[in-house]
């Protein structure tokens, strides 16, 4: 795949000619419902052969060689180029095939019915794990009922391994008190573990994902002991154990979200961890990229010192947000899919910008009532930046939060970058 950023006056037909691909292949790769609707700054994926690269504006022979892990001299020789400083837009270069790293991919699912099952089927070729979100742990150690059998069935049909997710969610938020009650009682811990094992056996899960958030700092040791108990009993039964961890930049980072998440202990005990590297631009805060890559890298720089790289799944968001301007504390941004973000840009006829520090697209518009808005979302460029980060840090893989969503470029881009490891 190549990524093309639409310029003023360009059409899909012209791009198909530039890249020497069929128009229908270009439309299908991006799943475009309206091929005539393009926005300046929109990122498209172009399905070019693995050993061919079409030169784009700003390219140099050095940059292309680096991308394909070869030397400038080798690339020049392969293409009989005499002047190393002279390549032109639209030039077709022969490039060496690059081996794809083997990675694992997880997706959290928040729809347990037909829509969720359809999503699993669509994503299936690109997934290792599928994690229905979530069974809530009660203060008595019970697990809330969740009719997710249709998701488990869909996952197994796609050779995707289902993970049981448990959380300390209560009402409309994570409950520090529920977590504290469970973690400080050996009896309740065992009740939770017994219920988890029974559910995993009856539903066909292959592993557990624990997402306990906003745990009191004083319960850090108790959480670690609970995790040890879980791992001991589940590993004895042949199940995987993983956890979701807040995005810490240091071991001593303060805050209710962070302090009880002990990276070294989770990294030692668990089969893998999911780093929740998203929500910088959260719905209740001011406009910002959801997962600015410079902030994600700060988390990874600490994480790889505390957790083996082969155990780290980097969190990747598959959504965007629309904030009203000026931002007013107490207001909530609208959350929607990347495809919806593109449609809104087209509706208001605005250009899509790209922040190179955050590696994230955004735009501003004014609605029919005269209210100003700012939108941050994910696109092919920001997703590629995240895939490149996983490769650069040599991590286990990625974990999406959350599906269903409409981000049609995800599957072909994963398949272009990774060889996705299946468990069976």
Name the catalytic one among 213, 259, 339, 378.
Answer: 213
Contact 40, 351 (CB under 8 A): yes
Count of beta carbons in the 10 Å neighbourhood of residue 18: 16
Question: Nearest Cα to 334, choosing from 280, 382, 287?
Answer: 287
**Dihedral, CA of residue 313, residue 319, residue 321 and residue 322, to nearest 10:** 160
Contact 357, 368 (CB under 8 A): no
How many whole angstroms from its chain centre is CA 182? 30
Active site residue 213: yes
Backbone CA torsion sign across 132, 405, 381, 377: negative
SS3 content of the chain, % helix, strand, coil (to 5): 35, 20, 40
User: How far apart (Å, rounded) are the C-alpha atoms in residues 134 and 144?
Assistant: 9
Which residues 6+ apart lie within 8 Å of 282 measured at CB?
Answer: none
Catalytically active residues, by annotation? 213
């Amino acid at each position: 795949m190549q990524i093309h950023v639409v310029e003023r006056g360009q059409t899909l037909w012209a791009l198909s000619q530039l890249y020497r691909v069929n128009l229908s292949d270009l439309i299908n790769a991006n799943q475009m419902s309206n091929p005539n609707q393009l926005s300046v700054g929109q990122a498209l994926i172009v399905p070019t052969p693995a050993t061919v690269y079409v030169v784009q504006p700003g390219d140099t022979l050095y940059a292309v060689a680096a991308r394909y892990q070869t030397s400038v001299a080798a690339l020049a020789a392969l293409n009989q180029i005499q002047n190393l400083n002279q390549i032109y837009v639209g030039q077709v270069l022969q490039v060496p095939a690059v081996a794809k790293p083997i990675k694992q991919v997880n997706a959290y699912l928040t729809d347990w019915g037909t829509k969720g099952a359809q999503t699993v089927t669509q994503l299936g070729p690109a997934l290792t794990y599928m994690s229905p979100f979530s069974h809530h742990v009660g203060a008595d150690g019970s697990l809330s009922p969740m009719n997710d059998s249709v998701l488990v069935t869909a996952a197994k049909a796609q050779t995707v391994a289902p993970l049981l997710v448990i959380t300390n969610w209560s009402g409309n938020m994570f409950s520090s008190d529920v977590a504290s009650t469970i973690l400080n009682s050996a009896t309740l811990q065992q009740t939770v573990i017994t219920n988890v094992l029974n559910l995993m056996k009856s539903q066909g899960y292959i592993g557990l994902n624990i997402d306990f958030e906003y745990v009191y700092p004083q319960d850090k040791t108790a959480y670690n002991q609970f995790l040890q108990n879980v791992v001991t009993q589940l590993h004895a039964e042949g199940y995987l154990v993983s956890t979701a961890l807040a995005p810490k930049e240091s071991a001593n980072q303060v805050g209710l979200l962070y302090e009880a998440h002990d990276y070294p202990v989770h990294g030692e005990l668990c089969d893998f961890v999911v780093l929740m590297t998203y929500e910088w631009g959260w719905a209740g805060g001011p406009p910002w990229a959801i997962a600015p890559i410079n902030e994600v890298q700060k988390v990874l720089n600490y994480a790889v010192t505390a957790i083996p790289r082969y155990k780290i799944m980097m969190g990747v968001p598959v959504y965007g947000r629309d904030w009203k301007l000026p931002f007013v504390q107490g207001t909530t941004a609208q959350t929607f899919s990347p495809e919806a973000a593109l449609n809104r840009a087209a509706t208001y006829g605005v250009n899509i910008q790209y922040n190179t520090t955050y590696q994230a697209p955004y735009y501003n518009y004014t609605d029919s009532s005269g209210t100003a808005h700012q939108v941050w979302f994910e696109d092919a460029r920001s997703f590629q930046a995240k895939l490149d980060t996983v490769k650069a840090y040599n991590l286990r893989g990625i974990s999406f939060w959350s599906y269903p969503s409409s981000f049609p470029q995800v599957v072909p881009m994963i398949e272009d970058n990774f060889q996705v490891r299946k468990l069976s």
